Amino acid sequence: MYNNNIIDSLCRHIGETVTVFTTSGGLSGSGFTGVLASVSECSIKLITCFGQAPTCPLGSSCTGNFGGTNRRNCGNILGSVTEIPTDKIVSFTHNAV
């Protein structure tokens, strides 16, 4: 069963950067750091790596070749989201303010 105290505390920090520690070992024993995107009774979602902003925010009107590189298809980093089951969370840290 999930821990209501941890879930309640996490809910107060949605949108903030937190580090979440889980019952797992290995590399994940160092915690997962990211922006807390959502909290439910079953899991939380952390944005652990932000993708790049669109190189052409106007849509298809930016089809030119800029500096020899097609900007629409160059370097699109999608970012990453980490989902953690709430029953595996041991603790988390956040800023004091």
Give pLDDT tens digits for 45-94: 999 988 877 676 665 556 655 544 444 445 556 789 999 999 999 999 99
Pick the more confident residue, 32 or 73.
Answer: 32
Residue 31 CA: distances (Å) to CA of 2, 22, 67: 19, 7, 41
Q: pTM of the full predicted structure? A: 0.70
**Is the pLDDT assigned to residue 39 strictly greater than 90?**
yes
Instruction: Set out the domains of the chain in order of their start, with CATH numbers.
Output: 4-93 (2.30.30)
Structural contact between residues 3 and 42, judged by C-beta atoms closer than 8 angstroms: no
Stretch 20-36: mean pLDDT: 88
**Which amino acid does the sequence have at 69?**
T
